[in-house]
A = this chain, B = another copy of it.
Amino acid sequence: MALRARALYDFTSENPGEISVKENELLTLCSEEVVDGWLEGTNSRGETGLFPASYVEITSTDPPQHGNGTTVGPEYHYYSRDSSNESTPTHSGGYQGPLQQQRHSFQTSQGSDDDWDDDWDDGTVEEHGGTPEKLGNVQSGYTNTSTSASRRGSGQQSKGTGTVGKNLNRFSTFVKSGGEAFVLGEASGLVRDGDKIVVVMGQSGPQWEDNPYPFTCLIDDPTKQTKFKGIKSFMSYGLTPSHTQNLVSRRYKHFDWLYARLVEKFPVISVPHLPEKQATGRFEEDFITKRRKGLIWWMNHMTSHPVLSKCDVFQHFLTCSSNDEKAWKQGKRKAEKDDLVGANFFLTISPPALPLDLQEVESKVDGFKSFTKKMDENLIQVNVTINEFARKQITGFKKEYQRVGQAFRLLSQAFEFDQQVYSATLNKAMAHTGEVYETIGDYFAEQPRQDLEPISDLLAIYQGHLANFPDIIHVQKGALTKAKESQKHGEEKDGSSAGGINDRCNIISCATLAEIQHFHYIRVRDFKAQMQHFLQQQITFFQKITGKLEEALDMYDQA
């Protein structure tokens, strides 16, 4: 029996060896093995190549009418780490994190993957590297490794499944995120009151309860630090959260570690992507400025999020004194041992009293899916336009205005050949007009940094958010499918089981809609603010030009 898969989303190949797939297209898999998040298979056009495993759903049987004789080789390499779980094969191959297989994602890493400052300041270097279990194994019940996602398959899938079956594709986000395990009632954990995440019913539907103690966080210009007597140097960012007013010092790798924790913990929350790493030239001013700007955007999205802003690991990151290595280490280990991640995260969600109408949820989520698709497409186009416009201003516009300036200078130079007294002030005024146009050329070249670049930065962070949503939607869709399945079969041993699935599907739906709502909320806020900033900058720019021209014009009054 050939292994088949159905594409959940469109994927367009971008590199040699990849193939494009269309939503709902049926694919024949060469192998079920996922390597670094990719599967190999043949699409309906007969092209064979790689595509992201998370973009497809493996289907069980080979419909005879589509049979093409492809057989699956015996080359599966399951990497099963959890012996209690051997009955449910988990495929914990090469992937790094549950939400990191999407095309747009930044490569995140643990300390040991940090190719540009690859040492931990807290002295726990030994816990990384080739022996991920070394430290993890001393902790009871946890394979506390840095390959976070491998834990997802563990412990939460050991319970019975009733008649609602599990997905055969153990790599679907729904499975990996823990969504399936939760819906099937396999999640369990101790949820304290402080862990509770409340979804309330707002005017536009479910929304995260506001953070009662909102705060912001300043990020200073980074400073260059050295250690090992100057052999190693790195950049350090000073953070000052408004609720503590205590400056803490963090390196990029700390942000990176935090990001990995958050992605692991929150299956249906869009964790903003960190600004890109850059291997070379990391102390160059442009790069440092750009990364700082990126981190400010990132921090702004973090502190704006009602759930992310409150969570323990983020608070630890923001508030733990830079000098207290012991406290830092403790908090770090606590975060890495956190039980309420993935499937268990859903246990912490406290939904509104009335369950949602699942049909309405489906329609809302579908609407949002169309919205994100359109927004993503348009953002790409807008970004191209914005960047091209900036480039034109820096090159072409500048050149044109400078040439006009030079032309006026040329005229005044010719006029200076004539030594008539009454011509002198005109000559001077024309030379000045020439200078003014050269200055206007410079203004055009400098302007994009003030107005177009911030828009481009904004688009980048939203492109990141949009890239997160297919996985989030996928989890919700998976839950909904399970709920429908259970209702359809109507064959539960006890009614409470179907009710349980419905309840849990409701929780996932509430969380998803709350996250969608939050997305819209910050989108309107951010784009409004950025458009205002842009227009204000443009107005100032044109006023500056007008001022210069008025200055030039005044000189002719004496001519």
Which residue of B379, B396, B556 contacts A392 across the interface (Cβ within 8 Å)? B396
Enumerate 13 A-B pairs (CB-CB under 8 Å) in ascending A order: A370-B417, A371-B414, A374-B414, A375-B417, A382-B407, A385-B407, A388-B400, A388-B403, A392-B400, A422-B521, A433-B531, A535-B552, A543-B546
Which residues of chain B come closer than 8 Å to A203, judged between CB atoms? 421
Across the two chains, which residue of chain B brings its CB closest to A546? B542
Residues from chain B with Cβ under 8 Å of A556 in the complex: 528, 531-532, 535
Residues of B within 8 A of A371 (CB): 414, 417-418
Instruction: Classify the secondary structure of A's interface with B.
Output: helix
Give the docked Cα–Cα distance between A262 and B379 (Å).
Answer: 67
> Of B406, B421, B536, B559, which contacts A528 at CB under 8 A?
B559
In angstroms, Cα B523 to Cα A521, docked, is 63
Contacts of A549 in B (CB 8 A): 535, 538-539, 542
Q: Counting CB contacts under 8 A, is A131 at the interface?
A: no
- A204 CB–B CB distance under 8 Å: yes
Mask: chain A, 401-419; 1 = CB below 8 Å from B; 0 = not:
0011011101101110111
Residues of B within 8 A of A521 (CB): 422
- Is B400 a contact of A389 with CB atoms below 8 Å? yes
Q: Is A553 an interface residue (CB 8 A)?
A: yes
Among candidates B389, B422, B538, residue contacting A403 with C-beta atoms closer than 8 Å: B389
In the assembled complex, the Cα of A542 lies from the Cα of B436 at a distance in Å of 14
Answer whether residue A235 sits at the interface, using C-beta atoms and an 8 A cutoff: no
Contact indicator A420/B204 (Cβ below 8 Å): yes
Asked if A23 is at the interface (CB within 8 A of a chain B CB), the reply is: no
Once the chains bind, are B430 and A527 in contact (CB under 8 Å)? yes
Q: Does A103 contact B (CB under 8 A)?
A: no
Interface flag for A60 (CB, 8 Å): no
A481, CB-defined interface residue at 8 Å: no
The answer, yes or no, to whether A426 is at the interface (CB within 8 Å) is: yes
Asked if A327 is at the interface (CB within 8 A of a chain B CB), the reply is no
- Per-position 1/0 for A377-400, Cβ under 8 A of B: 111011001101100100011001
Provided the pairs A389-B403, A553-B532, A553-B535 are in contact, do residues A411 and B382 lie with their beta carbons within 8 angstroms?
Answer: yes
Verify A426–B550 contact, CB threshold 8 A. Answer: no
Query: Which A residues fall within an 8 A CB radius of B?
Result: 203-204, 367-368, 370-371, 374-375, 377-379, 381-382, 385-386, 388-389, 392, 396-397, 400, 403-404, 406-408, 410-411, 413-415, 417-423, 426, 429-430, 433, 520-521, 523-524, 527-528, 531-532, 535-536, 538-539, 542-543, 545-546, 549-550, 552-553, 556, 559
Residue of B nearest to A383 (CB): B407
**Apart from A392-B400, A415-B523, what are 13 other A-B pairs with CB-CB below 8 Å?**
A367-B418, A370-B417, A374-B413, A378-B411, A378-B414, A418-B520, A420-B524, A422-B524, A426-B527, A429-B528, A433-B531, A528-B556, A532-B556
Whole-angstrom distance between the Cβ of A455 and the nearest chain B Cβ: 9
> In whole Å, how far is A391's beta carbon from the nearest beta carbon of chain B?
10
Residue pair A524, B423 in contact (C-beta under 8 Å): yes
Measured in the bound complex, the distance between the Cα atoms of B410 and A93 in whole Å is: 41
Of the residues B377, B389, B535, contact of A433 by C-beta under 8 Å: B535
Taking a contact as CB atoms under 8 Å apart, the answer to whether A404 and B389 are in contact is yes
Question: How far is it, in angstroms, between the C-alpha of A377 and the C-alpha of B542 when the chains are bound?
Answer: 33
Contact call B520/A423, Cβ cutoff below 8 A: yes
**How many angstroms from the CA of A430 to the CA of B388 in the assembled complex?**
20
Cβ–Cβ contact A385 & B404, under 8 A: yes
Of residues A368, A410, A414, which shows the largest number of chain B Cβ atoms within 10 Å of its Cβ? A414
Q: Are A417 and B386 in contact (CB under 8 A)?
A: no
CA gap between A522 and B4 in the complex, in Å? 87
From A552, which residue of chain B is reached at the shortest CB distance? B535
Complex CA–CA separation, A371 to B411 (angstroms): 11
The complex places the Cα of A418 from the Cα of B524 at a distance, in Å, of 11
Separation in Å of the A294 CB from the closest CB of chain B? Answer: 21
Complex Cα gap A198–B523 (Å): 80
Provide the residues of chain B in CB contact with A382, threshold 8 Å. 407-408, 410-411
List residues of chain B with CB within 8 A of the CB of A550. 539
Which 5 A-B pairs rank lowest in CB-CB distance, beginning with the nearest? A385-B407, A371-B417, A535-B553, A375-B414, A378-B414
Query: Shortest Cβ distance from A406 into chain B, in angstroms?
Result: 7
CB distance from A104 to the nearest CB of B (A): 17
Name, among A410, A413, A520, A531, the residue most crowded by chain B CB atoms within 10 Å (CB to CB): A531
